[in-house]
Amino acid sequence: MSAAISRPALQTVSQPTPAGPARWSPPVTRPRLRVVVRAEESAAITGLDLPTLRRLKTGDPAAPGWRVIGRLLRPLDAVNTGLDSPPTPHRRRAMLDVVAWLLIRCAQPGVGSYWHWPGEEWETLLGRTVKEFRAGAPAWVGDEVRPYLAAHAFLLGGFTAFHRLGSFQRLVLCWRVFGRDRVDAELAHLRRVLGGWGYQLGRHDDQLLPLTVAQLMLTNGSPHLQDMTTDLFDRVREERLLEGARLNTVHAVQRAVAELGFCTAPVRRTGQHSARATGGAQTWQQAADRWYDTSTLTRRVRGSVRANLLKVGRWLAAEHPEASDPAAWTRQTCATWIAALDRMRVGDYVQRTAGLEDRLGQPLTAATKAGQIGAMRRFFGDCQEWEWLPRRFDPLRALAVPRSIAAMLSPNPRVIADDIWAKLLWAGLNLTVNDLPATQSGPFYPFELVRAVTLTWLFSGQRSDEIARLRVGCIRWQHHGTPIAGDAADVLARDAVCLLDVPTHKTGTAFTKPVDPVLGQAIDAWQAIRPAQPPFTDRRTGESVDLLFAARARRMSTAYINNTVIPMLCRKGGVPSADVRGAITSHRARSTIASQLYNAKEPMTLFELQAWLGHRSPQSTQYYTKISPTTLTRAYQDAGYFARNVRTIEVLIDRDAVASGAATNGEPWQHYDLGHGYCSYTFFEQCQHRMACARCDFYTPKASSSAHLLEAKQGLQRMLVGVPLTDDERAAVDNDHAAVDRLIERLADVATPAGPTPNQLRAEPGRQLPLTVLPPTPRRTTRSTPSIDNL
């Protein structure tokens, strides 16, 4: 750097590369052999005074010590020359102080040359914070020296652990080391790829991408995207070089670099299941792991079964270590385990209790017990089928769900109340951009995507996994059975049918179902602006597909509806996130929609609903449908149970006879209106001749003068009384004349309340047996007959 000192170039120093898009090469090359600081070099550095080492105006630029330390000085000057930094006095002063400090450090006993300092040495010099840097640096070193010292640490010592230095301007360091034009050109290349996938880049508040890429460049020792290999991204994740939101940005960068063909795309990492959980005896755990690796079930189902198997393994280790080998299980062992399971409580034989604090010690639900028994049944069934275990018992019989547990398993859909569901529908239909949860960079997903996902959840009745796996082009329009284009707005507004193609799902293959046109229009609006996305692998089928709900080269998570959409709708609709049946989840919408379709004015049949939900069996559909109280009430009223079994007739109460005491002397005080006359028999509802009343002493025809006098009385109280009907009487009321004849003939020799039988009365001259037909039930509240004491 000093023009007054002429020093020949070393072979380890390369010519500086001008900033630009050309390939970068380091300004110095690390020596292959170990460089040792000689005694004369240490003495020369010590002999140079501080102003001379710092190259101040008060120093001696022609001091003889410069020629002795030229071997150590020239690489330092070459690094300073190759840095891409404005040539300001501030920059020159800071870089000269770096050189002076490094030379002084090399001259200290036992330190050695900067070429071979370990990372800990550079980290001590730089300090994890600015405060630590000040504490370890000489008093004459200012804070502006630290960034330039970091450049020397990277180029001379190969130091890349900048993630340990706290808040540090890594992007500025990249510009100085690699050249700003070169770094910005690579960033622009990344932005073009990511921007095409829907990433909102290029804004002033976008900082994660440049900072993350700068860390990757420094870690890799190269600013070029073509040098970013799969191993680099794996190392960043494994060593936790970046965390939080920057780790998500690493995923995006790797996808972009993979799109350019320089590495492989990131894969979903589930971790080693054996490292997360253990299952008691080693033999049992190995069998569970072997089943997990062999089964063809989905990863989630295999994980659930394995978790239940490990719970059994812990029970075996604690209670029955002799049965830790699955080959040693017998029918008696199965019975013992089912009996123990029936008495288990929440928290027993589990590895972690996080999230179970509120339910610890409570009895296991019937569904949980049945699920654990089913996991064991599948495990032993598969192992016997694969000939891993001898067939010592039948899993279908030995591990069947006991009746005591099966009796408590019944359809119980957790339907959302109509008023709450109506508010959620209103919130979804009136969703705005301001309702979307946003970060400092704005909403994560475009508004059109969020609205399409929301309406799909509200109107399609699908599982969250099916919604996340919908494909581009899943909406089709038909008009009178003829396919039409989705942009035919004049047709869509009238009577077009919107069809939704559902992919292969939990209980069956792909199928097509009709949905509300508002859902199809929302999906069409998202597809119109959806950025091109790389193909994704379908989790269930393994196909390479274009997922509908994908942005930024990432598929929508199956938990997005539960974690984001539902809380957003609850806030907008002003409803709680939980009700009496529990938290509002994505699957509860499926039960709610199915129950509403089943209870509609023109309801869908069970088999139609089965096809709409995509169930393989109508028994599964029953778990999603529940007859509403309103529908049940309407059906009960239409059945006419009360009107069929009870008739309400009018009763005249003679208050004068009660008040005067005549009722106690045997005078009639209540009169049942039979239509053609009145019956004053007090226990009329117990009379067997109600439908074929004989003209006994208790009967008063309406055409008689006694009936006219009764109706003309003052102070009569009219009341209603319900009279229960027998089977024969119900048939008579239903106009079954044969039943009436049978009733009259059966009662011919039964005494009437007056004493004589109908046959005896019929033998008397002028006697006839009038047919009594009770009047229909009036639509008024039925009252019981009052007693004399209550009048």
721-738 pLDDT per residue, tens: 767 776 666 666 555 556
User: Same structural domain for residues 249 and 278?
Assistant: no
Which residue bears the tokens 């063809």? 296
How large is the average pLDDT for residues 736-743? 63
User: Same structural domain for residues 163 and 301?
Assistant: no
User: Same structural domain for residues 210 and 119?
Assistant: no
Residue 11 inside a domain? The answer is: no
User: Same structural domain for residues 603 and 466?
Assistant: yes
d(CA 285, CA 265): 33
User: Same structural domain for residues 120 and 190?
Assistant: no
**Which of 167, 199, 234 is the last residue before a domain boundary?**
167
User: Same structural domain for residues 550 and 590?
Assistant: yes
Angle, helices 89-107 vs 145-157, to 10°: value is 60
User: Same structural domain for residues 356 and 455?
Assistant: no
Q: Contacts by 722-727 with C-beta closer than 8 Å and gap 24+?
A: 722/646, 722/647, 722/648, 722/782, 722/784, 723/646, 723/647, 723/648, 723/649, 723/684, 723/685, 723/690, 723/774, 724/645, 724/646, 724/685, 725/644, 725/645, 725/646, 725/647, 725/774
Query: DSSP string of 487-502?
Result: T-HHHHTTT-EEEEEE
d(CA 26, CA 19): 12
User: Same structural domain for residues 688 and 594?
Assistant: no
Q: How many domains does the chain have?
A: 5
Residue 173 inside a domain? The answer is: no
Residue 691 inside a domain? The answer is: yes
Taking alpha carbons only, the member of 85, 71, 72 closest to residue 148 is 85
User: Same structural domain for residues 203 and 236?
Assistant: yes
How large is the average pLDDT for residues 126-143? 89
- pLDDT value, residue 782: 36
Residue 599 inside a domain? The answer is: yes
User: Same structural domain for residues 377 and 432?
Assistant: no
What's the CATH number where 589 sits?
A: 1.10.443.10
Question: pLDDT band for position 564 (50/70/90)?
Answer: very high
**Residue 722 structure tokens:** 């319900």
Least confident of 33-42, 385-394, 480-489, 617-626: 480-489
**Which of 622, 655, 678 is the last residue before a domain boundary?**
622
d(CA 463, CA 461): 7
Q: Could you list the residue range(s) of the whole structural domain that residue 661 is in?
A: 641-790
User: Same structural domain for residues 665 and 751?
Assistant: yes
Residue 397 inside a domain? The answer is: yes
The pTM of this model reads: 0.66
Question: pLDDT band for position 328 (50/70/90)?
Answer: very high
User: Same structural domain for residues 469 and 528?
Assistant: yes
How large is the average pLDDT for residues 539-555? 89
d(CA 162, CA 786): 95
Residue 428 inside a domain? The answer is: yes
How large is the average pLDDT for residues 579-592? 90
**Which of 148, 167, 186 is the last residue before a domain boundary?**
167
Residue 57 inside a domain? The answer is: yes
Average pLDDT, the chain: 82
Residue 13 inside a domain? The answer is: no
